[in-house]
Amino acid sequence: MEPAFEDQRRRMVADQLLARGIRDPLVIRSMARVPRHLFVPAGHLDKSYSDHPLPIGEGQTISQPYMVALMIQEMALKPAGRVLEIGTGSGYEAAVLSLLASKVYSVERVPALADSAAKLLRSLSVKNVQILIADGTAGWPDEAPFQGILVAAAAPRVPEVLVNQLAPGGRLVIPVGSALSQTLTVVRREAGGIETREICGCVFVPLIGAHGWKEGEVSSEEVL
């Protein structure tokens, strides 16, 4: 790997993650390892480690590094937990998750993105990520329950079907709000019910599907 990228990645971890309060050592270690520049389109290579999302084609984006780290930290995964990710996109977040989870189940609705992410992860010898082309708002019932569920697209409300696929003590991390701005929300499933916590404001591309936005109701171009 080019030393320039390694340097940039080290700086990203220090300036964007540690400086802003990302503290989970496993999250830091994983973000320090995954070569984000391989998941970024050639035209944006020079911005691979910069502090914002980048377009990945199909009107979609790879999330800002800080947001990826924050979501994963908020999931508070126990060692060897099984994770569901909705919105594979470039496959970057799945690659980070693969270093923390025993198995990552990732659902993507755009076949071209799912295919290129799968190919890239295979070329990196990532073996514990399984990608499904489907509407992820329905979760992945055959593999439920999950210790963590991470939704990488903006939902109009928390889909109950996803809460029901959480293991006891498990957490769902999801941006909830309008198409233009959302609140990062954590839903924890406890024996006695569910506990919901709001973390911060955020902006994601829309979650489109049966339990998300209807196709045509919102456009992801609006937020790019």
CB of 88 to ligand SAH, least distance (A): 6
Catalytic one of 63, 106, 116, 220: 63
Cα separation, 73 vs 119, in Å, equals 27
> Is 116 an active-site residue?
no
CB of 182 to ligand SAH, least distance (A): 12
- Where does this chain touch ligand SAH (CB under 6 A) — which range of 13-21, 27-35, 168-176, 208-216? 208-216
Encoded tokens for 143: 């593999």
Which listed residue (22, 24, 30, 87) binds ligand SAH by CB under 6 A? 87
Residues of span 117-146 touching ligand SAH by CB under 6 A = 135-137
- Alpha carbon dihedral 152, 76, 161, 178, in 10-degree steps, equals -40
Binding flag, residue 61, ligand SAH (CB under 6 A)? yes
Cα separation values, 100 from 32, 75, 129, 135, 190, Å: 13, 11, 11, 25, 22
Three-state DSSP class for residue 79 = coil
Binding flag, residue 152, ligand SAH (CB under 6 A)? yes
Binding flag, residue 81, ligand SAH (CB under 6 A)? no
Encoded tokens for 207: 């979650």
| Structural contact between residues 154 and 217, judged by C-beta atoms closer than 8 angstroms | no
Q: Phi then psi for 90, rounded to 5 degrees?
A: -75, -20
Which listed residue (93, 97, 146, 202) binds ligand SAH by CB under 6 A? 93
| Structural contact between residues 31 and 69, judged by C-beta atoms closer than 8 angstroms | yes
Binding flag, residue 153, ligand SAH (CB under 6 A)? yes
Pairing outcome for strands 60-62 and 129-133: unpaired
CB of 121 to ligand SAH, least distance (A): 11
Q: By the criterion CB under 6 A, which residues form the site for ligand SAH? A: 60-63, 86-87, 89-90, 92-93, 107-110, 113, 135-137, 152-153, 205, 207-209, 212
Enumerate the active-site residues. 63
